[in-house]
């Protein structure tokens, strides 16, 4: 199963035990609350490349995305919960082309009231652990705006390399922002293999 339930893990040294990281499925029981969380992430950050209305016109669109992910080997959707309510999410979506199915794209969001508390780091660590255990996805890519210093530091600390800066990649209103393409290998390369 691509998006499979997983047992919550204990926090690592230095992590808050306030958050529980669980694997979301297409039948996630708090779908409406998750939809509200994602709406908050989009409303309080202009770092997403698409609008919330375009991506999720209604909760059924989110349910459909989770169901589609569920059918892809190696897919992952994690939800962080605090007091039983979703407060952060992370998705790893494998690419469709047959020769790229070992690669995936990552995106993540944390609710506006819980940012800068280490939740993104916990979600990312949980995802990377599960991907390594799964053995399907070998390379994860992500895009982040070049002016989003906290995100760049987070991903670099988690082992993501900067591959390219895409000039004027994102437009918000009349303002342009550069994008940074990042990559992390999940599995070690054999000796002598090129990166």
Q: What digits encode the pLDDT tens for the residues 179-188? A: 999 999 997 6
- pLDDT at 118 (0 to 100): 87
- pLDDT at 109 (0 to 100): 92
Q: What digits encode the pLDDT tens for the residues 26-63? A: 567 888 999 999 999 988 887 777 788 888 999 999 98
At residue 159, does pLDDT exceed 50? yes
- Contact assessment for residue 24 and residue 90, using Cβ atoms and an 8 Å cutoff: no
Statement: the pTM of the whole predicted model exceeds 0.75: yes
Sole residue written with tokens 């669980």: 22
Q: Name all domains of the chain by residue range, CATH numbers in brackets.
A: 20-142 (3.40.630.30)
- pLDDT at 189 (0 to 100): 58
- Contact assessment for residue 123 and residue 21, using Cβ atoms and an 8 Å cutoff: yes
Both structure tokens of 62:
């989110």
């Amino acid at each position: 199963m691509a998006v499979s339930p997983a047992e919550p893990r204990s926090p690592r040294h230095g992590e808050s035990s306030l958050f529980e990281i669980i694997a979301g499925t297409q039948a996630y029981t708090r779908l409406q609350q998750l939809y509200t969380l994602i709406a908050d992430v989009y409303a309080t950050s202009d770092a997403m490349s698409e609008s919330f209305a375009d991506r999720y016109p209604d909760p059924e669109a989110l349910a459909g995305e989770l169901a589609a992910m569920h059918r892809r080997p190696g897919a992952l959707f994690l939800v962080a919960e605090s007091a039983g309510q979703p407060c952060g999410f992370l998705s790893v979506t494998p690419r469709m082309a047959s020769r790229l199915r070992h690669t995936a794209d990552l995106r993540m969001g944390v609710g506006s009231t819980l940012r800068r508390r280490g939740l993104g780091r916990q979600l990312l660590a949980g995802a990377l652990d599960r991907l390594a255990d799964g053995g399907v996805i070998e390379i994860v890519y992500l895009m982040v705006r070049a002016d989003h210093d906290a995100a760049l530091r987070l991903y670099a600390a988690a082992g993501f390399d900067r591959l390219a800066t895409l000039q004027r990649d994102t437009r918000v209103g009349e303002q342009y922002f550069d994008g940074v393409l990042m990559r992390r290998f999940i599995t070690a390369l054999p000796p002598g293999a090129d990166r």
